[in-house]
Structure 1
Amino acid sequence: MSNSNLRNIKNKTIKSLKWQTFNSLIGTIVNPISLVVLAYLLTPKEYGYIAILTIIISFAEKIANMGFSHAIIQKEKVSDKDLNSIFWFITIVSLVISAIIYLFSSEIAAFFGEPDLVILIKYSSVIFLLQPIGSIFNSILKKELEYDLFTKVQIVQLITQKGSMIYLAFVGLGALSFPLGYILGNLITNVLLIIIFIKRNIWYPRIDFSIKNLKSYFSFGFSVSLNSILNNLSYYLDELLISSIFSIEILGIYHFVKNIFNNIIRIVDSTISQVMFPVFSKIQTYENEFSNAILRLLKSVSLIIVPVSIGLSLTSSLFVPLFFGDEWHSAISMFYYMGFWAISYLTAAILVGPIYGRGKSNWVLLVTVIDIPIRMLVLYLFSFIGINFFIIALSLLPLFKLFIYLNMIKKMTGIKVVNALLSLKGIYFATIISAGIGLLLKVSIVHVTGDVFTLLLVILVVATLYAFLIYFLDKDMFRYTKKLIMKIFNRSQKA
């Protein structure tokens, strides 16, 4: 490869990273807002239907795509005949899955014990055809590092989907707004992609099919698809259990609360971890720098996720009745316990970066394989005690991964588990003190000032006190995290 080609790839990579950062930024703004607005417009039961549809759609998409998207990106040279073969194969598979979902909608609804799901599942069957087909066009854009086009299309899809869902829910279509918004977003995106590809003469599907051309893609894509399905099972395991044991209303409230925390996790993980991950690969042979980077990562993430999660738990009794009404009252107790889940889950998840940085991806895979059956058994047993105990178990389970990952890091770097945890003592001390004072303030004035003023005052006091305590307890960490956030912010602006 010539130097000019290498320079071109480097320039495209830098440009792609900027656009991808911008894409993540838009997603972190739009997704939480749409989540809250839909909860305001829908009932817990309707939100429960959306939770079930999300699970069905997620699994069907991954089965239909069969990992071909990753295979297209991974393969060095992809011919038009290859793309045509993949397109028609995925189209046929998607049609079959769509037809199966439609024809067996009654049986699927019966599995979840909700006959009202039938019509929603029938509408959702259209999504299983549209989404995998659009993924081929997106894979080509990623392969060619055309992230400016990819980001613009993704933003159009996101705004169209979420905007349509909110509007349709507002006019009274209830849970039906979810599949209809999804269909509209995917339909517009696919038409837009086809127009772009034809106009730029990139590629468009022709009648040209060869099984032989699929073999190399299938062998790579199958393992990727299987891993993706397993990760999907791991992610939705808790909601699958809740849907089979608890009421649809509880599932709806749980889905909402979990996704509030998930959006916070994604924001932190896709910013700080995104910046830090390449660092671990570059400094993997420098023991001291590698160890210090791990401790800084732990502290930076904890500095944000711990107070935010505890803050949501602390103020849930104020904002849930205020914004969502009495029918969402059960969300208050779920916010209490899910805050601890967010902390333990993200703390364990960010340690995957340093382990990958040392090339030990097989270690992480082994932990995942062991974790799924253990989690399934523990959550199933705790579900019979009640939903709050279920969430407590969910919060404690990531500690299993955290302990294993810390011991893996100890084996790689010599950092002791106790020392790693003790490095976070200032953050937890500041959080406990500021949250305790916030709780006393809330209890003291809520009956006098009302929910709105109390909520604003508690947030202001707790945030100010927490920043003050952190500054004096760990000035170096405060300054380091401030610089890291500014670096992320500046990079987003440049995008």
Structure 2
Amino acid sequence: METDALKIQTLKGMIWKFSERFGVSFIQFILQIILARLLSPSDYGMLSIMIIFTNLANVFIQNGFNTALIQKKDTSDNDYSSVFWLTFVFSLLIYAFLFLIAPIIANFYSMPNIIFPFRVLALMIIPGALNSIQIAIVSKKMDFKKIFTSNFLSIIVSGIIGVSLAFLGMGVWALVFQSLANVVVSTLAMWFTVKWRPQYTMDFHRVKELFSFGWKLLVSSLLETLYQDLSSLVIGRKYNSSTLGFYNRGKQFPQFITTAVNGTVQSVMLPAMSSIQDDKQRVKQIMRRSITLSSYLMFPIMAGLAIVSEPLVKILLTDKWVSCVPYIQIFCFVFAFYPVHTCNLQTINAIGRSDIFLKLEVIKKIIGIAALSISVFCFDSPMIIALSSALTTVISCFVNAFPNKKLINYSYLEQIKDILPNFVISILMIIPLYFLKEIISNSLVLLLAQLVMGIVLYILISILTKNKSFYYVFDTALDIIKKKTND
């Protein structure tokens, strides 16, 4: 059994991290609605292409060493400083490279107007070098309140900038400055809340030690980021910026929610399990708890979003965005299983087996690229490209789960048993919601009715079926309240 201290510390971390992820994602969701009503699908298509390349660049800054610092038991200030100076210099080199290739990217995608905006947007990778160290320090201590504060402030400030520029008719520039301001403000906020400053030191021996673990995660993250954006690269090249805008808008709706849940699981699981990485039984207990809790949250949210997507888009984004509805429904299925992926992969990371992590990423990417290639060359449809993601999601679940049978004795059957109850009650919840469409014609009334009925039904079914995740959250919340009352 989990100790009370670790249980409460982990849940507190999850609460703060979920608050940060959900709060930021919710505000960003509202801002994106406002911006989508002011801007065109073409503007979002152009931003999508630019973001793909900056995300790839950010992998070198934000991944690998960051995870290695969190996973390492005896991390010193010397480690943090050495990694910072290395990534800072590397960020300058990457920015110079992106600056030079901007015309090539613009020419390849027939978007000559993105050269200057792309060069400005790419500046975000430079403050990211400092931000990655700040996040590692806070994550290791599971002090996610600081991340909550900084990200909440950054999304508010950047949102005001983005919406203001959109009102002034700045088009894609509104999105560029919003994205850049988000990173800069977050880094500045963390500077004042995290009491760490880089020393003028570089210990290559320590860096080499961290790199031996982190390089596999770096390559894995690079493969994952490239793969996730590969379909967008293909659609942007093969079709047009408007089609890409619909595709990515459909993907972003469920992705906002997934960022909250999946980011919480990823951020909290790694430091929690790394602290007990030698006790495989306790690692398994935390992993099982994480899988059941995250699927309990994710399955009904994704199922519900798929059902309400059409009235939601018509009300929030207007009819000009209705073509993104089928993409939303497909990606709801895809992202519903992301916490399951994350729990399996973070367990592998926590016990120091980044070599297995990399092998899994290579296997999954080969499968994914094969599915994408077939969908592009045999069907020539962006919808089929989205459906190929759904297929590879199911296959990837089995690929990610395979090593943990040996590492912590957590089999396929056990994982299925842990998530199946949450899947079943989610399906039971959405069946009545589907038939509401036949009764209610007004989009707003339909949306509100589906939301209220969905929440009530899910809680009611959870109680009637005595769902373990529901009672775990309820009982642990009571424990925290009692502890605070006694203090």
Name the TM tier (shorter chain): 0.7 to 0.9
Q: For the structure 1 residues 391 and 196, does the alpha-carbon distance in structure 2 shift closer, same or farther, using more than 3 Å as the test?
A: closer
State whether residues 327 and 386 of structure 2, in contact with CA within 8 Å, keep that contact through their aligned partners in structure 1.
yes
Matching residue of 1:52: 49
Give the total of aligned pairs. 468
Query: Cα distance, 1:469 vs. partner?
Result: 2.6
Pick closer, same or farther for the CA change 1:280–1:142 going to 2, 3 Å. closer
Q: Does 1:466 align with 2:429?
A: no
- How far residue 153 of structure 1 moved from its aligned partner, in angstroms, is 4.4
Q: TM-score, normalised by structure 2?
A: 0.78
Classify the secondary structure of the residue corresponding to 1:165. helix
Contact 2:139 2:268 in 1 (8 A): no
Q: What's the offset of the Cα at 1:375?
A: 0.9
- The structure that has the greater radius of gyration is 1
Aligned counterpart, 1:173 = 170
Give the whole-Å Cα distance in 1 for the aligned partners of 2:461 and 2:179: 45
Change (3 A) 1:65 1:266: closer
Aligned to 2:24: 27
| RMSD after superposition | 4.4
Distance of aligned partners of 1:15 and 1:77 in 2 relative to their CA distance in 1, 3 Å threshold: farther
The reply to whether residue 240 of structure 1 matches residue 248 of structure 2 is no
- Aligned position for 1:159: 156
Tell me which amino acid in the other structure corresponds to 1:380.
Answer: S
User: 2:162–2:177: 8 Å Cα contact kept in structure 1?
Assistant: yes
SS in 1 for 2:110: coil
Which range moved further: 472-481 or 252-261? Answer: 472-481
Q: Gaps (5+ residues) in structure 1?
A: 1-11
Could you tell me how far apart the structure 1 residues matched to 2:27 and 2:474 are?
A: 24
Q: Does 1:398 align with 2:390?
A: no
Alpha-carbon deviation of 1:51?
Answer: 1.4
- Conserved in 2, the CA contact under 8 Å of 1:127 and 1:179? no
Q: Which runs of 5+ in 2 are unaligned?
A: 1-8
2:291–2:339 contact (8 Å) kept in structure 1: no
Helix, strand or coil for the counterpart of 1:430? Answer: helix
Give the aligned partner of residue 456 of structure 1.
448
CA 1:286–1:39 in structure 2 vs 1: closer, same or farther (change >3 Å)?
same
2-side partners of 1:383 and 1:213: how far apart? 48
Alpha-carbon distance between aligned partners in 1 of 2:147 and 2:375, rounded to the nearest angstrom: 43
Alignment partner of 1:113: what SS? coil
Residue number in structure 2 paired with 1:9: none
Does the 8 Å contact 2:17/2:268 carry over to 1? no
- Counterparts of 2:220 and 2:139, CA distance in 1: 21
For the 8 Å contact 1:268–1:301, the answer to whether it is kept is: yes
Q: Is the 8 A contact 1:410 1:416 kept in 2?
A: yes
1:373 pairs with 2:363: no
Determine helix, strand or coil for the equivalent of 1:250: helix
Contact 2:14–2:268 (8 Å) recurs in 1: no
> In 1, distance between residues paired with 2:125 and 2:268?
34
- The percentage of aligned residue pairs carrying the same residue is 19
Letter in 1 for 2:207: Y
* Letter in structure 2 aligned against 1:217: V
**Residues 44, 172 of structure 2: 8 Å contact kept:** yes
Query: For residues 93 and 382 of structure 2, what CA distance do their matches in structure 1 show?
Result: 37
TM-score by length of structure 1 reads 0.77
Between 46-55 and 67-76, report the one with greater CA deviation: 67-76
Question: Quick check: 1:257 aligned with 2:245?
Answer: no
1:217 and 2:207 matched? yes
Q: Secondary structure at the match of 2:78?
A: coil
CA gap of 1:159–1:117, structure 2 versus 1, over 3 A, is: same
Gap change, CA 1:65 and 1:52, over 3 Å in 2: same
- Does structure 2 conserve the Cα–Cα contact (< 8 Å) formed by 1:86 and 1:214? no
Aligned-residue offset at 1:370: 1.4
Task: Find the aligned partners of 1:132 and 1:470 in 2 and give their Cα distance.
Answer: 44
